[in-house]
């Protein structure tokens, strides 16, 4: 795909959510978000009802973008993990491949070490899923029936218009 975007289907989201759910249970975290680097929310798991996840996703992606520039200024290509510590809640962010950011929000019921361990394991699993999605998308294997049907009908309509 020329714009380097991915189409994520329901079965992919199901796999992604299963990995994130497993991470939340293992790390005993409150919630997690998967955000693309443009700030769009891909999915969320856990206790997110009190959060404005759309705004949070955009701000977290912006935080990663500004940190990338800081990394460049100090001679690093990129910082792949960020951690924000609050009084009650903490945020752990890590890059997943080169497309998305895994965000884990947790409190003092767990430790940063546990969150890092499970987030790293989850990031590896998510990267594999994204690689499969990318391979299927670039090979054209995921063209949906709706797309094909629409293109066929549109072509037929154009033929009808120009044959008159």
Decide if 132 is inside a domain: yes
pLDDT of 4: 62
CATH of the domain at 23: 3.30.450.30
pLDDT of 97: 86
pLDDT of 145: 47
pLDDT of 141: 47
Decide if 5 is inside a domain: no
pLDDT of 140: 60
Decide if 99 is inside a domain: yes
Domain containing residue 157: 10-163
pLDDT of 152: 72
H, E, C per residue of the chain: CCCCCCCCCHHHHHHHHHHHHHHHHHHCCCEEEEEECCCCEEEEEECCCCCCHHHHHHHHHHHHHHHHHHHHHCCCCCCCEEEEECCCCEEEEEEECCCEEEEEEECCCCCHHHHHHHHHHHHHHHHHHHHHHHHHHHHCCCCCHHHHHHHHHHHHHHHHHHHC
pLDDT of 114: 97
Decide if 3 is inside a domain: no
Q: Low-confidence residues of the chain, pLDDT below 70? A: 1-5, 138-151, 158, 160, 162, 164
Domain count, the chain: 1
Decide if 1 is inside a domain: no
Taking residue 94's Cβ as centre, other Cβ atoms within 10 Å add up to: 22
Q: What is the pTM of this model?
A: 0.80
């Amino acid at each position: 795909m020329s714009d380097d975007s991915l189409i994520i289907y329901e079965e992919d989201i199901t796999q992604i959510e299963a990995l994130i759910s497993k991470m939340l249970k293992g790390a005993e975290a409150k919630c997690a978000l998967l955000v693309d680097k443009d700030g769009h929310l891909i999915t969320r798991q856990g206790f997110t009802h009190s959060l404005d996840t759309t705004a949070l996703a955009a701000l977290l992606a912006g935080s990663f973008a500004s940190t990338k520039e800081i990394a460049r200024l100090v001679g690093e290509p990129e910082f792949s993990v960020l951690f924000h510590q609050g009084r009650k809640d903490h945020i752990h962010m890590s890059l997943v491949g080169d497309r998305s950011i895994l965000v884990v929000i947790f409190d003092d019921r767990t430790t940063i070490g546990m969150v890092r361990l499970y987030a790293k394991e989850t990031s590896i699993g998510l990267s594999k899923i994204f690689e499969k999605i990318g391979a299927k998308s670039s090979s054209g294997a995921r063209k949906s029936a709706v797309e094909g049907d629409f293109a066929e009908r549109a072509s037929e309509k154009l033929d009808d218009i120009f044959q008159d």
